[in-house]
Amino acid sequence: MAKLCIILQFIISSLVIENSRAISSPLAPYTTYKHSIELQKYVADLWWTVDDNEQEITFELHMKTTGWIALGISPAGGMTGADIAVGWVDQTGSVHLQDRYASADELPIFDNTTIDWFAVKGREVSGWTAIQFKRLLDTCDIMDVPIKSGTNILIFAYAMIDPVPSGPNGEISYHGSRRGSRALPLRSYVDPPSEDIFAGLDYVEFRLNNYVVPPTDTTDYCKIYKVPSSYSVKRHAIGHKTIVDSASQDLVHHLLMYECDSTAQFNDNNLPAGLCDQIYQEIAQCTSNIANGWAVGGDYMVAFPKEAGYPIGGDFPIKYYMVQVHYDNPNLLSNRTDNSGIRFYIGKELRQYDLGLLTFGTDSSAVALAIPPKAQKFIVDSYCSANATMGGEKIKDEICLHRMIYYPRMNNMYGCMNMNSPQAWLSMMNTSSSSLNYTELQQWLLNLTWTPERAVQWQEFYNTVSRVLIYGAAPNLQFDMMPSLPKYEDLKPVPCTKDPSGNKNTTRPSPTTFSQGTTTNKAISYVSTIRQDIFVFLNLILIVMTVIFM
């Protein structure tokens, strides 16, 4: 049967799929909108419509409070650099909306360039505040964030009281823990399906069973599951639901499901389960192929394209799966249990294609990525030439210029990756040795004294370094040398067409790429392979390390 690959890109914090359409607010929206999401269950809901002709977006935000409410567009997921609309309804029923800008994780200031958030309507009913407001997609305001195509990061917050004084210049109180964020493509959002479309279908679940979350700040728990024996003939899952236990929703950060290698064998009466680091040797064959993923802000319900289904059972070679759950428990809470997991809905008929996932990203190792301490920004380039994007002659021509690519279940290309060449590292280390030892490289990195000048040199090293390409199917790997990445000419930015008025001298604070000050001597922190959020391509990487560095 033909295979269809759906691309899944992981950027920490990658795994973003839009949230569900479940709505908590008892208030009906003012009008019909194209899209809606529940930002926080029983607390916050958002509706919006994009008008491409007017290059304008209209929001309606409902929150369970009679105080101020806020919605912001963030460049990176936090408050810093965010463009924020703060609104409330006063005791006379009048609606107020402020245009603010956050230069740091502190009280956002009033936008003193142009006012670009505009209130339309607002009301308070039954303990809820609802405000309809709008702004241009790109305001050309240096204190605003353009709403571009692709993923946008929304932040939201609220308080229990109105600003004081309750007027246009009212000052807002601190929101405390009453805040959140969501990442979603505002301009290309596709409403997720209702679970009703899967009613009456068989399903298979891979869920934890009252796992006790440790009172530590970060935990990765892994558990192996076997495909139910009842699926003696291959079936197609046509959608899935991520089940996040409501009792531990504040702890579950993300959940990944892996296919175990077809050669993996386990004792079915005692399948491995435990902290991922501690059982790594047992689960090593289940850390490459990703079958599913979810993270905070993601959609709980996903329907696959009508042409494709995810194969389960029968002659499909995958007989075991592993679920990895990452918990964030900064308050070190104890006696908390979790029953989160994945549910696959099984279609009644096979579809035309088998569905698989393509994974690409950067490995967390000294060879792949060594970021200077305190650097707020560090760029590792990956390129794909125009002839490759238009259909290169070989698969490796299309994928090898990324840092790491993994194709599941392909006959002629198991995976591909590139890394800084051993010769380049030897030159950087200024050593007379003719071969590079990975342990020595790691120790050299740990002993480096980092200065702002060293950080600049380090970025230039990554920009110009020669690369070694590794591709093929283990153990028959092939190696090519590449003196440098191909030259890349970026697209020319399109100038904003709106002429902003107001104070022309206002400038947005520029982020620094390195903390200035005294010289520091700090070790670079390396995360073990099993502790990274996404540990893909592991078997190939281990072979590569053995071939190149030993």
Domain boundaries, the chain: 3-14+193-358, 35-184, 362-494+513-549
- Helix (H), strand (E) at residue 61: strand 56-63
Could you list the pLDDT tens digit for every one of the 550 residues in the chain?
443 333 333 322 333 333 335 688 999 999 999 999 999 889 999 999 999 999 999 999 999 999 999 999 999 878 899 999 999 999 999 999 999 999 988 899 999 899 999 999 999 999 999 999 999 999 999 999 999 888 899 999 999 999 987 777 789 999 998 998 888 899 988 778 889 999 999 999 999 999 999 999 999 999 999 999 888 899 999 999 999 998 998 999 999 999 998 899 999 999 999 999 999 999 999 987 888 889 887 888 999 999 999 999 999 999 999 999 999 999 999 999 999 999 999 999 999 999 887 666 666 566 667 778 877 777 776 655 555 445 545 555 545 555 544 444 444 455 677 788 888 889 888 888 888 888 888 889 888 888 888 888 888 888 888 888 777 665 677 788 888 776 666 667 777 876 544 443 333 333 222 333 333 332 222 223 323 332 333 444 444 444 444 4
Instruction: Give the integer Cα–Cα distance in Å for 443 and 152.
Output: 39
Instruction: Give the integer Cα–Cα distance in Å for 320 and 224.
Output: 7
Give 346's contacts (C-beta < 8 A, 6+ positions apart): 201, 202, 203, 204, 235, 236, 237, 238, 312
pTM attached to this predicted model: 0.63
Instruction: Give the integer Cα–Cα distance in Å for 392 and 387.
Output: 6
Q: Residues of 449-480 as b/e, b for ≥16 C-beta within 10 angstroms?
A: ebbbeebeebbeebeebebbbbbbeeeebeee
SS3 content of the chain, % helix, strand, coil (to 5): 10, 35, 55
Other CB atoms closer than 10 Å to residue 481's CB: what's the count? 10
As given in the structure block, the two tokens for residue 156 are 């939201």
SS (H, E, C) 411-440: CCCCEEEEEECHHHHHHHHCCCCCCCCHHH
Instruction: Give the integer Cα–Cα distance in Å for 152 and 79.
Output: 14
Pairing of strands 353-361, 308-312: parallel
Instruction: Give the integer Cα–Cα distance in Å for 278 and 330.
Output: 21
| DSSP letter string, 486-523 | PP--PPPPPPP-S---S-TT--PPPPPSS--SS-B--P
Return the CATH number of 3-14+193-358, one of 3.40.630.10, 2.60.120.310, 3.30.750.210, 2.60.120.380.
2.60.120.310
Q: Are 86 and 71 in contact (CB under 8 A)?
A: no
As given in the structure block, the two tokens for residue 232 are 């003696």
| Assigned CATH topology for domain 35-184 | Immunoglobulin-like (2.60.40)
